[in-house]
Amino acid sequence: MNTRLDWGDYATLLLIAEGRTLAGAARHSTQSRPTLMRRLNQIEERLGARVFERLRTGYEPTAAGRELIEAAREMQSLAAEAERRVGDRDKRPAGKVVLTTTDTLFAALVAPELPGFSAAFPGIILEVHVSNLLQNLTHREADVALRPASSPEERLVGRKLGNIRQAIFVHHALAEQPLDTLPAIGPGDDLPYPALHAAMRSTGLFQNCTVRLNSILSMHQAVRHMGGAGILPVYLGGNDPDLLQRGEPIAALDTDLWLLTDPALRNTARIRAVLDYFGNCNRLRAKLG
C-alpha cells in the first residue's frame, strides 16, 4: 500500500488547517467542500492515522497532523523562496502585481493614486482585486494587501500606514439639526462588523435607522443622497465636501491600516515598487486624518 503523500496532499492539509473547517478551506481553494473531504479521507486512509479531529468548533490537527502541517508550511516557504529567486533575476520593476483591498479603501485612497503610480512604473500592470473578504497572501491569491487590521498575520511583513478612525457624518445642509431628528443609515445584518453595529446603538443612531446596507461604500452614498446621518471612516466622509463630521471620532472603531506582503516577495522589484509608492504616499496618509 502506497502511504506516500504528494505536494497536493500536503497543500490540502494546509488549506484545511488554515481554514479551520472544510467550508473555510473551500473558500480559499478551487476545490469544493466534498472534494476536500474525499481527499482528506483518502490521505488518512493511506497513512492509517487520523490527521484532524472533527470537533464542533472546527477541524483540530492531531499530533500527527501538526507534524504534517508544519512540513507543508516548510515546503510552501521553500517554493515561495525559489519563486522569489527566479523573479529577482530581472530587477526591473515590471510585470503584474495583484493588489487586494476593500471597496472603500480603493475608492478613497488607491484610485486617486493610480495615475501617478502608472506614470512612475509604466512596466507594472497593477491588477486590483476589490473585495471585503481577506485574500490569502501566503496562498498567492494576491501579492500585496492594503487592509485594516488590529495586527497583521504573523507570516506577513509590511508597514502600518496610519490609524483608521470613524465618526458620525451628516449632509452639510443638515449641520444645525439635532442628530436624533435625522434618519440614520447603518449596516445590515449581513455586514459582519460587530463593532459598527455596537457603535450604532451606543450613539443612538440605531433606533432612527431607516436604511441598512451591506457595505460601507454604499452607506457613504446613502448618507450623501438621503440627507441622513451615518458612521463612516474619516478618510471617506472627511474628504467628501458634501458631508460634515459631527463630534469626535468613535474610539471603539479605531483600527490600523496595513500594507502587507509575503516575506518571500518583498524584495522583488515590482512588489517593492508597489510597497514603496503606496507606503510613502503622503497624500494617502493625509486622508487618514
The pair phi, psi for residue 275, each rounded to 5°, is -60, -45
Written as nine digits, the cell of 112 is 486617486
Report the number of distinct structural domains present in the chain.
3
Under 8 Å CB-to-CB from 194, ≥6 apart: which residues?
Answer: none
Residue 2 belongs to a domain:
no
Question: Would residue 1 count as lying in a domain?
Answer: no
List pLDDT tens digits, range 245-280: 999 999 999 999 999 998 888 889 999 999 999 999
| Bridge pairing between strands 184-187 and 209-213 | parallel
Q: Which residue has the higher pLDDT, 254 or 137?
A: 254
Using 50, 70 and 90 to split pLDDT, how confident is the model at 28?
Answer: confident
Query: What CATH number does residue 278 fall under?
Result: 3.40.190.10
- How far is the C-alpha of 112 from the C-alpha of 30, rounded, in Å? 33
Give residue-wise pLDDT tens across range 195-204.
Answer: 999 999 999 9
What pLDDT is recorded for position 232? Answer: 97
Q: Which one is predicted more confidently, 266 or 164?
A: 164
Asked whether 216 and 148 are in contact (CB, 8 A), the reply is: no
Q: Are 85 and 268 in contact (CB under 8 A)?
A: no
Q: Which residues pair with 125 in a beta bridge?
A: 96
Give the tens place of pLDDT for each residue, 77-88: 888 777 776 665
| Domain membership flag for residue 118 | yes
What pLDDT band is residue 135 in, cutting at 50, 70 and 90?
low
Region 158-172 average pLDDT: 94
pLDDT at residue 3, rounded to an integer: 64
Instruction: State how far the Cα of 190 lies from the Cα of 105, in Å rounded to an integer.
Output: 20
Has this prediction a pTM greater than 0.95? no
Note whether 117 and 217 are same-domain residues.
no
Q: Domain span at residue 229?
A: 166-253
Residues 236 and 191 in one domain: yes
Q: Are residues 159 and 171 in the same domain?
A: no
Taking residues 14-37, report their average pLDDT.
85
Please check whether residues 152 and 260 belong to one and the same domain: yes
